[in-house]
Amino acid sequence: MTQGKDRVVLAYSGGLDTSVAIGWIGEQTGMEVIAVAVDVGQGGEDLQVIRQRALDCGAVEAYVADAKEEFAADFCMPALKANALYQGAYPLVSAISRPLISKHLVRAARQFGATTVAHGCTGKGNDQVRFEVSITSMAPDLKTIAPVRDLALTRDVAIDYANRHHLPIETTKNNPFSIDQNVWGRAIETGFLEDLWNAPTKDVYNYTDDPTYPPLPDEVVLTFEKGVPVAIDGRPVTPLQAIQEMNRRAGAQGIGRIDIVEDRLVGIKSREVYEAPGAVALIAAHQELERVTIERELARFKRRVDERWGELVYDAQWFSPLKKSLDTFIESTQEYVSGEIRMSLHGGRATVTGRRSDASLYDFNLATYETGDSFDQSHSRGFIEIYGMTSKLATARDVRFGKGLEVGEGAL
């Protein structure tokens, strides 16, 4: 190994593009490459196999990290507490993994003395922004490069390079889709999906079975403590175990398939297909438990905060001051979000069928219409009079100025 050369850490997946990028970066920049592989639950090959492949492809060092537990606890659980669904649908599958991967890239850069970080993103996606903003937030002295975007490493060039250099990587498989997956879900794009009229075909999906022909309904009881799932059907679970089990059970029922046209950070619209069975089921359960345990005005405001939190994370602002402040607010709302939610998983739907909590704000005696009703209905007349007073006064003013509300053919 040559001493004194600048070094670059590369976000390494073990696939064709990043394997070729090791040698390509070296040739184009003269820097030594350290490969960084972070397991966030994407499945596939063993980390040590990936590590050896990186070394065989020319990396001078290889950093591997099993970050599944960290990802589930420190990134998926905050998303769950925020009921994070970008544009009301997308549970931020890729968006929440990029800050974690960036954290390990920075850690590896410090460990191996690198001055630059490289990633495999293109110039039109969201992830280039997420990686680079995250990295500069943690380590503003580090430079970043993207071989595909900055060094002309196109797919055909990568295949030719791998064949000429006899790299230990498969180059003949032609996957029509671009896929990113982790324990929180799976994102699929490009190929024939770019035509908005084309329906997804069966081969698009992997985490979910066809909901058209589901097995028998699966009833599950989820126990939460302060917004975090801690048991399933009475069995204690870690955050990672909770996500994995719900991925399996909800996925078997075809739950969590999402097909949307999404507003990307870079300003274009993109057709995206997602599978997130565990995330969708857990968020549905968490939202229902919040309805039982969070006071009305706080719940109304939190829904606005949740939406903004999701937008910030989607828009590469995981480490921003506003997102950190919203984290503090959201965490404070979870103090009483403890209890049990019973759900029926069946035919593509996760339906809440029961809820109970020692911290519940639901009072049976106030809610019931039967004998034992403790709600004093005589108070309602005065309440309505006071509640409607401002509208009543405003309407009377409109009438004085000839601007009464139109009702039928006349005006008030």
Question: Mind listing the pLDDT tens digit for each residue in 333-351?
Answer: 999 999 999 999 999 999 9
Q: What is the pTM of this model?
A: 0.92
Does 17 carry a binding-site annotation? yes
Does 172 carry a binding-site annotation? no
Does 178 carry a binding-site annotation? yes
Q: Which of 17, 39, 180, 306 is catalytic?
A: 17
What CA–CA distance (Å, rounded) separates 285 from 341? Answer: 6
Which 8-state DSSP code applies to residue 192?
Answer: G
Residue 361: phi and psi, rounded to 5, are: -95, 5
Q: Is 127 a catalytic residue?
A: yes
Residue 75: phi and psi, rounded to 5, are: -125, -45
What CA–CA distance (Å, rounded) separates 346 from 249? Answer: 10
Does 11 carry a binding-site annotation? yes
| Among 220, 260, 269, CA closest to 92 | 260
Mean pLDDT calculated for residue range 170-185: 80
Does 360 carry a binding-site annotation? no
What CA–CA distance (Å, rounded) separates 264 from 63? Answer: 31
Instruction: Specify the DSSP element, H or E, that contains 285.
Output: helix 277-293
- pLDDT at position 2 is 45
| Among 55, 68, 14, CA closest to 242 | 68
Look over the chain and give the mean of its residue pLDDT values, rounded to a whole number. 93
Q: Is 218 a catalytic residue?
A: no
User: What class does CATH assign to 7-174?
Assistant: alpha beta
Does 74 carry a binding-site annotation? no
CA angle (210, 353, 182) in 5-degree steps:
45
Q: Which of 39, 53, 102, 127 is catalytic?
A: 127
Does 126 carry a binding-site annotation? yes
pLDDT greater than 80 at residue 404: no
List beta partners, residue 180: 187
What CA–CA distance (Å, rounded) separates 61 from 33? Answer: 7
The boundaries of every CATH 3.40.50.620 domain in the chain are: 7-174
Question: Mind listing the pLDDT tens digit for each residue in 30-51?
Answer: 999 999 999 999 988 899 999 9
Tell me which of 271 and 406 has the higher pLDDT.
Answer: 271
Q: Which of 51, 98, 257, 355 is catalytic?
A: 98
- Confidence band, pLDDT 50/70/90 cuts, at residue 410: low
Question: Mind listing the pLDDT tens digit for each residue in 71-116?
Answer: 999 999 999 999 999 999 999 999 999 999 999 999 999 999 999 9
Structure tokens at 202: 């069966």
Q: Is 400 a catalytic residue?
A: no
Q: Is 98 a catalytic residue?
A: yes
Contacts of 204 (CB under 8 A, 6+ apart): 177, 188, 193, 273
| Pairs from 137-144 (Cβ < 8 Å, separation ≥ 24) | 137/318, 137/319, 137/320, 138/102, 138/103, 138/106, 138/319, 139/106, 139/109, 139/110, 141/115, 142/106, 142/109, 142/114, 142/115, 142/116, 142/117, 143/115, 143/116, 143/117, 144/116, 144/117, 144/118, 144/119
Share of the chain above pLDDT 70, in %: 96
CATH code given to domain 179-294+336-356: 3.90.1260.10
Mean pLDDT calculated for residue range 172-193: 85
Does 120 carry a binding-site annotation? yes
Least confident of 56-65, 150-159, 298-307: 150-159
- pLDDT at position 361 is 94
Where would I find the H helices in 57-154? 68-71, 77-81, 97-112, 127-138, 147-150
pLDDT greater than 70 at residue 259: yes
List beta partners, residue 144: 117
Least confident of 77-86, 153-162, 213-222: 153-162
- pLDDT at position 186 is 97
Least confident of 70-84, 111-125, 166-180, 320-334: 166-180
Does 18 carry a binding-site annotation? yes
pLDDT greater than 90 at residue 263: yes
pLDDT greater than 90 at residue 134: yes
Q: How many Å from the N-terminal Cα to the C-terminal Cα in the chain?
A: 88
Does 212 carry a binding-site annotation? no
pLDDT greater than 60 at residue 173: no
Sheet with 269-275, side-by-side order of all strands: 178-182, 185-189, 269-275, 257-263
Question: Mind listing the pLDDT tens digit for each residue in 352-374?
Answer: 999 999 999 998 888 778 877 88
Does 15 carry a binding-site annotation? yes
Does 365 carry a binding-site annotation? no
CA distances from 70 to 34, 39, 78, 92, 371 (A): 22, 10, 12, 17, 51
Does 115 carry a binding-site annotation? no
What CA–CA distance (Å, rounded) separates 294 from 337? Answer: 7
Structure tokens at 255: 């739950």
CA distances from 16 to 49, 160, 170, 271, 403 (A): 14, 11, 7, 25, 70
pLDDT greater than 50 at residue 1: no
Q: Which of 6, 66, 110, 178 is catalytic?
A: 178
The boundaries of every CATH 3.90.1260.10 domain in the chain are: 179-294+336-356
Question: Mind listing the pLDDT tens digit for each residue in 226-246?
Answer: 999 999 999 999 999 999 999
Structure tokens at 252: 């078997």
Mean pLDDT calculated for residue range 148-159: 87
Mean pLDDT calculated for residue range 159-188: 85
- pLDDT at position 243 is 98
pLDDT greater than 90 at residue 177: no
